[in-house]
Structure 1
Amino acid sequence: MKRKQFYKKAIFWIHLASVFSGLSLALSCEKSKDNNDLLIGILLIASNSQTTSQTDTSCSAGYCKMFVSLANATLNAGVSGLDSQCASDTNKPSGGATYKAMVADGTNRIACTTPNCATGGTSEHTNWIFKPNKEYRRSDGTTIIGTTTANGVFSFPLTNEVQTSVVGTNSTVTGLNTNWTSSANDCNNFANTGANTSNGLHDDKTNLLLSVGTSGCGNTMKIICVEQ
């Protein structure tokens, strides 16, 4: 009889120990799962933070940058070709931001269809490169060039020139008139070096930045590049 009771107690304690062992294992697994989930979450946050840091640009920090290309403009590859030159130019600031050319051809890129976009505001833009009410600075990130109007263009005079140092020439291709409308002279939509284009001066604070007249498309000109 005593032996029988002993066996029952032994079986009870063995069963209880098994239950606690299973519970402990489950809790351990759950804890491990929680730790794994926490680790994955931390890695995702770190990854997102790193991605944001890598793609962060000055435009998202409250201002955009502008620079003048070191290379001479190649004027027979269209607006996209000029954008590509901005993207690969030696003077482009580091940081991975996208830069596009401050040019207009009346078709693929238009600033204004009326003087200073006075009639339609930003609705007059086509693939335009300036943001409305935005401050623009030189490559140093400190020197303020100016702040655009609500119409997405500069009023003149600027606070400072886009660039004062001249390497080879201070002439820049624009395809613009002095009031931001498209010039009839744009190297035939920047596809023909045998034609003419409107050109401006990168070291001028007035609307001569946009146009001082026309120049042969085979002549030496730089590109004003604008952060997007």
Structure 2
Amino acid sequence: MRIKTGFFCFCLLCFLNCKPAELCNAADVSNKCGILQLTKQNPNQDNSLRTPRCTTCKMFVTAISYNANLGGIVGADNKCTSDSNKPATGIYKALIVDDVNRRACTSVNCATGGVTENIDWVFSPNASYVQASNTSNVIFITDVNGVLNNNLTNLISAATGIWTGIKNNPSWDWQTDTTHTCSSWMDSVSANCGTYGVTSWNDSRSIAITSAYGNGGTLNNLLCVEQ
């Protein structure tokens, strides 16, 4: 009988000292549970700001020409940002590819995978591209894959060579010529190492001249595209 009474008293004491369970509020950083949940967020979640995308986008050719050692894709983009021809507003990137840091297509005109073939590509799908110096001059409108396969409506600019790395097939292609990107745009020495376009053509030669390559030391400009 004495054992049963002691057990009963022990249970009663535990009951009187119990606290109700706290509900977890992950948004409450003052709560230990909330802090714990915040530390368990998906480590792969990308919270970085996405590059804005224009729908009527300006393009310009750099005022300065460069050999093929551009400092890679990042270096080319930086040259667009600092160029005197850049409009006062907007983010601009260079139309140039290396197939690793920037790419348009892995199939002809991205016909197989569409925009999933893009890597940091400079064109948006279904967007108009105009001359920065004359925004009423629409150069082309991209398709659903963010490329084009028709002749240009207006020329990009007066005749200027532009480094691109795009495969120079006789027609629009938009695949990277992986053997002609001048060592991912870090080579100013090698012969015939890079593909280039001439902006006075109204067809694919504006992006990639057929059967011609530039030496690493050749001076070409960059085509910069608003994002």
TM-score scaled to structure 1, two decimals? 0.69
- Deviation, 1:73, is 2.5
Instruction: Give the equivalent residue in structure 1 for 2:110.
Output: 117
Instruction: Give the equivalent residue in structure 1 for 2:156.
Output: 162
Could you say if the C-alpha distance between residues 88 and 217 of structure 1 is closer, same or farther in structure 2, counting changes exceeding 3 Å?
same
SS of structure 2 residue aligned to 1:225:
strand
Instruction: Give the equivalent residue in structure 1 for 2:199.
Output: 202
> CA offsets per residue over residues 169-189 of structure 1, 9 Å max, x none?
x21100001410001200100
Structure 2: distance between partners of 1:91 and 1:111: 25
Instruction: Give the equivalent residue in structure 1 for 2:181.
Output: 186
Instruction: Give the equivalent residue in structure 1 for 2:25.
Output: none
SS of structure 2 residue aligned to 1:188:
helix
**Are residues 1:70 and 2:69 paired?**
no
Return 5+ residue gaps in structure 2 as ranges: 1-51
**Are residues 1:171 and 2:161 paired?**
yes
Q: Which amino acid aligns with 2:58?
A: K
CA RMSD of aligned residues (A): 1.5
SS of structure 2 residue aligned to 1:122:
helix
**Are residues 1:107 and 2:100 paired?**
yes
SS of structure 2 residue aligned to 1:216:
coil
Contact map agreement 1:74 1:82 (CA 8 A) in 2: no
Larger Rg, first or second structure (1 or 2): 1
Contact map agreement 1:63 1:136 (CA 8 A) in 2: yes
Q: Summarize the alignment of residues 36-55 of structure 1 with structure 2, pairs less than 5 Å apart.
A: none
> CA offsets per residue over residues 155-208 of structure 1, 9 Å max, x none?
2201111112x4xxx211000014100012001000111231001111111000
Which structure's residues are more often helix, by fraction?
Answer: 1
Moved over 3 A (4+): none
- Deviation, 1:59, is 6.0
- Deviation, 1:104, is 0.7
Identity of matched residues, %: 33
Aligned residues: 165
Instruction: Give the equivalent residue in structure 2 for 1:98.
Output: 91
Structure 2: distance between partners of 1:125 and 1:73: 26
Structure 2: distance between partners of 1:205 and 1:69: 19
Q: Which amino acid aligns with 1:161?
A: L
- Deviation, 1:106, is 1.3
Q: Which amino acid aligns with 2:205?
A: L
